[in-house]
Structure formats: C-alpha cells, structure tokens
Chain A
C-alpha cells in the first residue's frame, strides 16, 4: 500500500530516534547500529535495505527487545503510538508484541515449532493476549488461515509445519503475526527463502492485508526489486547507519549516495540491454563492508568509495542532509545538518536525504 505517499503522516505509528546498538563480542565492542532515526506512518511501508552485516535485522530485533540483554546495549528512543519500546518493562513489552507489533522472520522452516500443529501455534498467540475461550480462538485461527490464503483452512489447522510447503508455512507465520491485528508489521527478509512465484503471492497478500487493516509495515530486505514493488519509503543501511533515505522513486531512480549507486549498479537489470544486444558488465563495489568492531573513523563507506570528493570524508562522518541542496552545491561546509523530517524540502514532499559529500561527483 502506498498510503503514505505524498504527505508525511501527521501521527507516526512508530518514531525511532537515534537508535544505537552495541554488542559485546570477543573481539571488542561491535557497533552494529549507530544512530538510526526514522518513522513509519499508518498504512505506510518503509523498506530497510542493506547487505549482510549492515545492521538492518539487529535494528528491529532491538525494538522488540529480542536481543540478549547480557551482551547488547540499546540506546535511543522508539515510540510506538507514543510509548517508548526501549523503556518498557518486560511484561508491558510482552503485551505489545502481538497487538502492537507483529513480526515475520526470514525462514519459515525454523520460525514454527515442528511438534505443534499450526492451529495450536496460532491459538497460543491469540490466547496470550486476551481471555478467549479455546473453541473461539480455534475458530479465529481457521479464519486467519483463510485470510492468508491457505487452501482448506478447516483441515489445515490440524496440520504440522512439515506437512506444508515453504510458501504455506510463511503464510502460517504471517497468520500468527496478524492474529492480534498489529498496528505495525515487521517483515525481516520474509520472502528471501521463497521462490519468486511464491514471493509474488506473499507480497500480494501483505499488500492486501495492509489495505484492509491500515497496518504500517517495515520490510527488511536486500532485494531492491522487491523494494521497488512494495515500499513507500526506503532507508538504505550501511555500517549500522542510514546512508540514504527518501521516497522509493527518489532513492531508486535518483540515488545520491555512492553506496546506493553501487548497489543498484551491481544488480543485473532485466531492462538494461545495450542497443547492440550486448549486456554490459555489472558495476561492482570493490572490497567488503567494514567490521562493526572496527568502523572507519570518517565516512563509513570511505574505504570502498570510488568518489571520495571531499577531504573530510576520511576523518568525519557526513551528516544525513537533504539531497537537493547537496546537488545544487548550496550546502556549504558550515551549514547546519538538517535534523528530522520536518519538511525543509518543498511542501508536501518527503525529504530525500543522503549522508555523503560525494553526491555531485557521481550524478
């Protein structure tokens, strides 16, 4: 659903400010998420993209308190309908998971319990959040399975996960996530393990449910094609930071950050065939992402950056600022970094921002 397109939602469902996650590791502290701020409106889909190790999964696990408390330090603020997820008591958090936030994980083979029928796993979720009689919860489970498109839901409730295909299992996981009508749905690489034709089914399903219930969605993926199809807004993560964000059209069609450009260039594009019929070589980003235990002193992308247009890149992290002034070269070195998304850029338009001093060098 593209409910959020065009105008910023007046009251965001989720408002994350300066989220930071540090993990204790044998090799020293790992700075996995380093100051992430974004918001999700009702009915809006925000895609978080990045490669493995960019911190995209950890950033949402931190929101739901799913990181091991002994090794993870989470700071910042994450307001879900006005209430800070990061400061909730474990009991309150347990109440919020479900009716507040539903989560769909990557692997439908491992996120279901193999020794319980899918019906019991759905009923468990429903009964944890309300005094619902068993028979009624079971009837609701059948309804949910029908809603996510499982054929023959009356018999499917008594099936075990191994009796279902991967696509069907992911539908069950989605049914569980939806069982308490969450305001926000987080899908972490929810279609990555599935075949493309099944992926298309699941995306259709989520879009339909979102249209029906006005659910806000955070869709974590590395697949920019999927992003183009489902997202209103995109947030590109690299080295635990947001290096670029904006509407899906701005970010995918007019990328400003050298990393975003590299990611898009690395994709074999079904529409990019030269006039001679020869397919050009793919653009590659040389090198590897930085280890979270050993982040560069300056711009996180500096070690791999093909541009390096500014001497400050090596020593200073560029702030996330609107792209248009960057492109026009109006933003001088002394200009204050733009904070928040309170519309410095045109009225009624979501800002397109990038954390780089190298936007012009590439365009």
Chain B
C-alpha cells in the first residue's frame, strides 16, 4: 500500500469564456496527499483552491491531467465506479446554512449516504448509525428529529461533518468549513476536526483563506496563487520560514493578536490586485506583484524546487532559475 492516498498530475481545470480564452482556475497542479496527513490548502479568493478540491473528487471535470485515488485513476472511471470511490471521500462545505436541506431532518440528512451506498439496511440499523455519527461530532443523538433551522451555525456544521463521515471515508475535504462561523465556534470545529482526524485516521484536505487556522490544523501547507501551487512543505517550515515571496507577503499580512508584535512587525504590503485568471501573466504568475521580480521572471515559468527545510518546495527563481521557458521567449516549450 502506497503512502500516497490521492495524487494529481498536471491537473488543469479551464472554464471556457464566451468568445475566446478561458478562466484558468486550476492551471497545472502536481500534488500528493499522504495517508493520514492534514494538508492545508491556502490562498486568496479566486486562486482556484475550491476548484482544485472539487477536481480532486471529480465534482468538476478536469480539462487535463490525472487524479489517482488509492491507485485508481479517477479521471478514467465510469459513473458507477466513481460513485463507489466517492463513498471513500467526504466533503464539508463552507456555508452550513446553504449546504443542509432545510426540509429534511438531521437524521434524514445524515442517513442519506448510508442509503445511497447501502452501508446499512433497515430502519433501526440506520437510526443507530445516525446516532453514533451524531455522537462522534459532539451532538446529542436525541436531536436527530430536528430540522436545520433549529440549530446554530456551529451545530449545523457538525451535522455537515457527520454527513461527510457517514460513508466512512478515508479522505475528507473541508472547503472553508469554518469561514462563516464566529471565532469561539471556529475553535470548537477546529478542535473537532483535529480529534476526528486522529481518532479515525482520516486524510484531510483543509481548504481555507485563513492562514492562522491552516497553520494550526495542518501537517503540511500548500500555497496556491492563480491556479498553481507556488509553495508546499511541512507546516512548521512554510509557516515559519517561507521561501516564496508570495507566501512571505501572505504570512506577513496575517495580523496577530499581540499589540507589541504588531507594532514592531514589518508588513509586506503587495502592490495591486491579483491578475484575472483569464489573463495569467507569462512566466512566473506572481511577478506583477512581486517585490523581487527580476529578468527571468517573465520568461521562465518556475517549477517547484526543493529549498529551505526537507520536503519544502517553492516555485521561485530567487532560488535558481528552474522551469519551463515560455515559447515566446524560450527555445522550446
């Protein structure tokens, strides 16, 4: 059994635009997620992190590249085998108000995966399993008959997590699962996810724009910018000693609740906005905002290279110009 549970190679999701061109939401991602690890995927709005999460489960169709789930090529599966593979992957969504059906009870919502995948049969068995799942996420099984509107945001998110766990997945994608919750409730859900991950040996992809939360929960962190992973590595290394200027700026922009530190800290304030994913800059896609951009940046598309701590990779020419010369400038593509 390989150490890698899910693996993407050259993954691309391009959404065609009317007229010409395309939104390059995911634009050439190579990624390995190891069994039992929590990988934090961080990036700003529009960087493609949610699309990448969806593409890994084939909830959107990749336009190029492959995704391998436990050795099976997801991109080549027919609908039937895809469905059975999807049982092994759960998803927790951002908005616990929109992701639960308001007209179904908690029990009906949590039981649905059990029925779809025929994991339990008979009313009593299903009810018992629903009770177990609710207990697992810290809810009283007695609430099974209630409707979503009777719960607070944090409790609803627990219901969403229980549903995601119903298929006994190996892999759980949490897409901005704490973004719409209050700080004290975020802490409850983060603690719950960490406990579940350890208790059930889950492999977790935790997608968020919140670097503090990502650093708190992740073993490894991947940083995404304009459809590409620009830095990846152990959470301690990426969090403490980032090697890519974008990660450095992102980290320096996260305010910390210590006034003394905030006063003395040097914030790297980036110029301008993220370019549109339909007009990605040539070469290094961060070069238009990078404070260190130099000659090779527009001409060579940087590849991830090992820098800093063991297992830390960054796509930046400051560590040596490695990558694909872009056709307009280079000799070959």
Contact = CB atoms under 8 A, between A and B. Distances in A.
Given A197-B270, A281-B194, A267 B183 contact: yes
A166 B190 CA distance: 28
Interface string B163-193: 0000000000000000000111011101100
Interface stretch (A60-68, A153-161, A175-183, A246-254): A246-254
Contact of B183 (A51, A166, A197): A51
Contacts of A168: 273
B211 interface: yes
A195 B44 contact: yes
Given A197-B44, A249-B260, A263-B183, A282 B250 contact: no
Nearest to A53: B182
A52 interface: yes
B116 interface: no
A226 interface: yes
B254 to A, nearest CB: 6
B269 A268 contact: no
B82 to A, nearest CB: 34
B117 interface: no
A227 interface: yes
Contacts of B269: 197, 200-201, 204
A223 B191 contact: no
A196 B209 contact: yes
Interface of A: 51-52, 151, 165-168, 195-201, 204, 222-229, 231, 248-249, 252-253, 262-271, 273, 277, 279, 281-286, 288
Given A151-B272, A284-B184, A284-B187, A195 B45 contact: yes
Nearest to A168: B273
Interface residues of B, number: 43
18 contacts: A51-B182, A168-B273, A195-B44, A195-B209, A204-B269, A222-B183, A224-B183, A225-B257, A225-B262, A228-B259, A266-B183, A267-B212, A268-B212, A269-B257, A271-B261, A282-B190, A282-B191, A288-B152
Contact of B212 (A198, A204, A270, A283): A270
B206 to A, nearest CB: 12
Of residues A167, A265, A277, A282, which shows the largest number of chain B Cβ atoms within 10 Å of its Cβ? A282
A226 B257 CA distance: 7
Given A265-B187, A266-B183, A284-B184, 5 more contacts: A200-B270, A201-B270, A227-B257, A269-B256, A270-B212
Contacts of A167: 273
Contacts of A285: 184, 187
A252 B257 contact: yes
Contact of A263 (B152, B184, B272, B274): B184
Contacts of B213: 268
Nearest to A288: B152
A196 B260 contact: no
A252 B255 contact: no
A167 B44 CA distance: 12
B267 interface: yes
Interface string B11-32: 0000000000000000000000
Nearest to B234: A277
Nearest to B183: A266
B273 A165 contact: yes
Contacts of B216: 268, 279, 282
Contacts, number: 125
B183 A248 contact: no
Contacts of A199: 253, 255
Nearest to B180: A52
Contact of B187 (A165, A229, A283): A283
Interface in B242-267: 249-263, 267
Given A51-B183, A284-B188, A249 B236 contact: no
Main secondary structure of the interface of B (DSSP, over half): helix
B310 to A, nearest CB: 14
B239 A270 contact: yes
A228 B262 contact: yes
A262 B185 CA distance: 11
Contacts of B261: 228, 271
A249 B215 CA distance: 25
Contacts of A262: 184
Contacts of A165: 273-274
Given A200-B253, A204-B269, A271 B258 contact: yes
A263 B274 CA distance: 32
A270 B254 contact: yes
B256 A282 contact: no
Contacts of A265: 187
Nearest to A234: B259
A249 B259 CA distance: 6
Nearest to A51: B182
Nearest to A304: B184
Contacts of A197: 44, 249-250, 253, 269-270
Contacts of B273: 165, 167-168, 198
Among all A-B residue pairs, the 7 with the closest Cβ atoms = A225-B255, A268-B216, A266-B187, A282-B187, A195-B44, A224-B257, A200-B253
A252 B188 contact: no
A252 B258 contact: yes
A228 B261 CA distance: 9
Nearest to A232: B259
A273 B216 CA distance: 9
A319 B152 CA distance: 30
Nearest to A49: B183
Interface string B201-228: 0000000010111011100000000000
